[in-house]
């Protein structure tokens, strides 16, 4: 395992390619930063062409759909579409019952500050609790329902209301560098299925021994097929493809213009206050599971982004990793109570997802290399004799 020379990602980070010691995310980001003003002018014109076309053939009741959580990015999308370009979108939210108070405030304020109708959808809490448990056991992530809801429900609504255009926010320019700015990618069912949902669909959730769900519980989780997509001409574009994406700037601007609030209390697993307020576990227990699996967490993600944006040196980034990546945050207890799982079961299950490229067991403890040099141990393992063998080096 080696680390990128520029940011704090390791070669094992999800979907990353490493060459000449630099990761694909840093390379993509360099391309992105070096784009001249002309490029963005042309992109803006392209966006305006799309907007004008909508204004010319206003057939549906809404001009487009904006999937929103209520976060800074949602506000930025609505700001562009409603305030700057005067469209009438339908805002669509998947509510996974994990909102933080600031997230609730921001979400509900959207239809006060933007002239837009807002559809908030949430599955039954009983179904959600079951899905939390099933997905945790199946893939070591309680938040599968959220990835699925966010990337399915707005598309269902687009087809139901015959609204062809869906305007998404950030394209994952720098999360792994899967695409380049000039690839001009659109929303893709394959990326949703493979990278958003990890290859699990609604029907993967029906076979759990302990938690029983039926097809009816998961209607919101069914992605339309190709024929239905083509019939409605449904298409998802990313606003990040048309306007330069700068989350730090967006957060400031949205706060000034609309009173959008960042988290009022610090997170335990990262220093950023402006991300993931729609889901208490995203910066907490969900992210802890990423550390358990791949040896890095949100602090690594945020520091890598901020290093690329020139807001932080690599040394400062490494300090963030050292301070935050391994922390077991208090929301874990909150989640264990919510879904009625014991802490012991949590660790026994979580340990089954440790990536052997990252972790080995030394003196009974989980051990991995550290970006600041050498290796450290991160707590005792909870494996049986057989599973243990994969991790003895």
The footprint of another protein (CB under 8 A) covers 14-17, 19, 24, 27-28, 139-141, 176-180, 182-191, 193-195, 198-201, 203-204, 223, 225-227, 229-230, 293-294, 352-355, 357
- Nearest-approach distance from CB 188 to another protein, in angstroms: 5
| Residue closer to another protein, measured from CB, 125 or 230 | 230
| Residue closer to another protein, measured from CB, 230 or 388 | 230
Measured torsion, CA atoms of residues 371, 377, 383, 388, in degrees rounded to the nearest 10: 70
- Nearest-approach distance from CB 136 to another protein, in angstroms: 11
Half-sphere exposure of 173 (CA within 13 A, CB side): 27
- Nearest-approach distance from CB 251 to another protein, in angstroms: 28
| Residue closer to another protein, measured from CB, 79 or 195 | 195
- Nearest-approach distance from CB 230 to another protein, in angstroms: 6
Q: Under DSSP, is residue 3 helix (H, G, I), strand (E, B) or coil? A: strand
For residue 61, which of 4, 116, 14 has the smallest C-alpha distance? Answer: 116
DSSP secondary structure letter of residue 187: -
- Nearest-approach distance from CB 115 to another protein, in angstroms: 31
CA distance 124 to 316: 43
Phi and psi at residue 233, in whole multiples of 5°? 60, 35
| Residue closer to another protein, measured from CB, 180 or 345 | 180
| Residue closer to another protein, measured from CB, 356 or 364 | 356
| Residue closer to another protein, measured from CB, 53 or 194 | 194
Residues in a beta bridge with 69:
none
Q: Under DSSP, is residue 251 helix (H, G, I), strand (E, B) or coil? A: helix
Q: Find out whether 77 and 68 touch, Cβ atoms under 8 Å.
A: yes
- Nearest-approach distance from CB 84 to another protein, in angstroms: 25
Q: Under DSSP, is residue 339 helix (H, G, I), strand (E, B) or coil? A: helix
| Residue closer to another protein, measured from CB, 235 or 322 | 235
For residue 169, which of 288, 309, 52, 275 has the smallest C-alpha distance? Answer: 275
**Which DSSP helix (H) or strand (E) runs through 12?**
none
| Residue closer to another protein, measured from CB, 106 or 349 | 349
| Residue closer to another protein, measured from CB, 22 or 119 | 22
Q: Find out whether 314 and 360 touch, Cβ atoms under 8 Å.
A: no
Residues in a beta bridge with 375:
369
- Nearest-approach distance from CB 275 to another protein, in angstroms: 22
- Nearest-approach distance from CB 390 to another protein, in angstroms: 10
- Strands 375-380 vs 365-369: parallel, antiparallel or unpaired: antiparallel
3-state DSSP helix/strand/coil % of the chain, to nearest 5: 50, 10, 40
- Nearest-approach distance from CB 19 to another protein, in angstroms: 7
CA distance 170 to 75: 12
Q: Find out whether 142 and 136 touch, Cβ atoms under 8 Å.
A: yes
CA distance 181 to 173: 7
CA distance 28 to 10: 16
């Amino acid at each position: 395992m080696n680390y990128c020379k520029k940011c704090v990602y390791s070669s094992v980070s999800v979907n990353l390619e490493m060459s000449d010691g630099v990761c694909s995310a840093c390379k993509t980001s360099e391309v992105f930063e070096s784009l001249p003003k002309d490029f963005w002018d042309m992109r803006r014109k392209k966006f305006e062409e799309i907007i004008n076309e909508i204004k010319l053939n206003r057939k549906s009741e809404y001009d487009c759909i904006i999937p929103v959580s209520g976060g800074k990015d949602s506000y930025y999308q609505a700001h562009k579409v409603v305030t700057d370009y005067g469209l009438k979108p339908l805002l669509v939210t998947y509510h996974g019952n994990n909102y933080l108070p600031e997230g609730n405030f921001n979400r509900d304020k959207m239809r006060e500050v933007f002239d837009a109708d807002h559809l908030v959808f949430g599955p039954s809490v009983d179904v959600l609790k079951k899905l939390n448990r099933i997905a945790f056991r199946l893939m070591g992530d309680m938040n599968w329902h959220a990835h699925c809801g966010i990337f399915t429900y707005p598309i269902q609504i687009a087809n139901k209301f015959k609204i062809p255009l869906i305007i998404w926010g950030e394209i994952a320019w720098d999360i792994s560098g899967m695409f380049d700015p000039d690839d001009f990618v659109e929303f893709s069912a394959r990326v949703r299925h493979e990278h958003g949902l990890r290859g699990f669909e609604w029907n993967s959730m029906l076979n759990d021994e302990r938690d029983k769900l039926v097809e009816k519980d998961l209607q919101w989780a069914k992605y339309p097929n190709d024929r239905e997509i083509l019939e409605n001409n449904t298409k998802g574009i990313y606003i990040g493809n048309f306007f330069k994406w700068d989350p730090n700037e967006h957060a400031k601007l949205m706060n000034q213009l609309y009173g959008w609030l960042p988290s009022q209390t610090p997170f335990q697993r990262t220093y950023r206050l402006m991300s993931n307020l729609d889901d208490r576990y995203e910066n907490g227990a969900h992210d802890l599971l990423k550390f358990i699996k791949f040896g890095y967490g949100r602090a690594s993600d945020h520091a890598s982004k901020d290093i690329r944006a020139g807001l932080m040196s690599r040394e400062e980034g490494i300090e963030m990793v050292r301070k935050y990546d391994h922390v077991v945050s208090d929301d874990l207890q909150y989640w264990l109570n919510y879904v009625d799982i014991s802490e012991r079961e949590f660790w026994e299950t979580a340990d089954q997802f440790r990536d052997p490229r990252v972790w080995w067991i030394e003196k009974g403890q989980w051990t991995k290399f550290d970006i600041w040099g050498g290796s450290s141990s991160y707590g005792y393992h909870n494996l049986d004799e057989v599973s243990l063998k994969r991790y003895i080096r």
